[in-house]
Amino acid sequence: MAPIMNALKGIALQVGATFLFTIMSAMVRIVSERIPTGEIVFSRSFFALFPLLALLAWRGEVSAAVRTAHPVGHIVRGTVGVMAMSLGFSALARIPLADATAIGFTAPLLTVVFAAVLLRERVQAYRWAAVCVGLAGVVIMLWPHMSGAFDSADHVVGAACALIGAGFTAGAMIQVRRLTQTESTPAIVFYFQALAAVAGLATAGWGWVLPGPGDAVLLVSMGLVGGVGQILLTESYRYAPASVVAPFAYSAMLWSLLLGFILFAEIPPLLVVLGASVVIGAGLFVIWRERQLGIERNRADAAATPPAGPTA
């Protein structure tokens, strides 16, 4: 039975998921000084399977999670998603937490571009304008990293990884849209986590290290936290429409600023905060516009449906 819609519950779940993902990112930043990226990808994905499978077993949806009509599509989504994850983790190893989070907000804007190019979706002038404004915000965010404001060349590499990773994230979202035409949500989530774990494990021959007790706890914890965050995120869309809960994903900026300051004494440059505000504003406009278009389509469909005639 479908759950009763509850906007406040959906919003709370989205905010909780965003908070957990930010904690996970902070853990990645801590262990990335000593643990290779491939090992982190494996830990994040493998241990996330435990809370996911526990939930699926509780709901009796394990069979739905492994049933697929499009295995190649899952491989494509897994490949693109692993690239996004790896680049995102590489960025977290090199630039402040808030900076990596802010640059990651580029993904929803790039999804609009990819949807127009790859899916042939019709994108109206309003959304193109929002994308252009948002990309200008990206330039503002990147400026401190590219202009020598930071001493280390690692910041340039990190910012580039974050931006390219956002592009792969957008590509993964496009593939998810394709998969939803034939695949269930449990299958999409399960196969990605499983494929990402296998991809991470495949890097074991390239410099994996035996983690110390502290790092081992963090590696397991980031997977469990990420898995629970994924569950909360999925549940949020069961209780409220995407147009209601999606804007609250931008609360990640607040969490990353707080955790970055508390854990790493990081204070992002003013230009990064300004650019992030522009990108967030553009992203919120895209979400609002999508909602308006959805309302208009529903009205048009209702107007085109002939009224029911008298029954015999």
Tell me whether residue 54 is in a domain.
yes
Question: Has residue 223 got a pLDDT over 90?
Answer: yes
pLDDT band (50, 70, 90) for residue 253: very high
Helix axes 97-104, 125-146, angle to 10 degrees: 150
Task: Identify whether 212 is part of a domain.
Answer: yes
User: Does a structural domain hold residue 305?
Assistant: no
Q: Pick the range with the lowest mean pLDDT from 37-46, 86-95, 219-228, 297-306.
A: 297-306
Inform me whether the pLDDT recorded for 67 exceeds 70: yes
Q: What is the mean pLDDT of residues 75-100?
A: 95
Q: Say what the pLDDT of residue 116 is.
A: 87
pLDDT digits (tens, 9 = 90+) for 133-144: 999 999 999 888
What is the model's pLDDT at position 311?
Answer: 41
CB contact at 8 A, 39 and 205: no
Residue 153 domain-assigned (yes or no): yes
The beta strand positions in the chain, using DSSP E, are: none
Q: How many domains does the chain have?
A: 1
In angstroms, the CA 297 to CA 108 distance is 22
124 domain residue, yes or no: yes
Four-CA torsion 13, 15, 19, 24, nearest 10 degrees? 60
Give per-residue pLDDT as tens, 32-49.
Answer: 999 999 999 999 999 999
More confident residue, 91 or 237: 91
Instruction: Calculate mean pLDDT across residues 3-32.
Output: 91
Query: Would residue 306 count as lying in a domain?
Result: no
Is residue 179 helix, strand or coil? helix
- Residue 76 binned pLDDT confidence (cut-offs 50, 70, 90): very high
- Number of helices (H), then strands (E), in the chain: 14, 0
Residue 308 lies in a domain: no
Average pLDDT over residues 205-212: 93
pLDDT of residue 309: 44
pLDDT at 303 over 60: no
pTM of the model: 0.88
* Residue 297 pLDDT level (bands cut at 50, 70, 90): low
pLDDT tens column, 179-196 = 988 898 899 999 999 999
Rg (CA), the chain: 20
Hey, how many other C-beta atoms are within 10 angstroms of the C-beta on 191?
22
105 sits in which H/E element: none
| 67 backbone φψ class: left, alpha, beta (φ>0; ψ -120 to 50) | beta
Show the domain range for 234: 7-296
Contact indicator for 224, 5 with CB cutoff of 8 Å? no
Mean pLDDT, the chain, rounded, equals 88
Is the pLDDT at 279 greater than 70? The verdict is yes
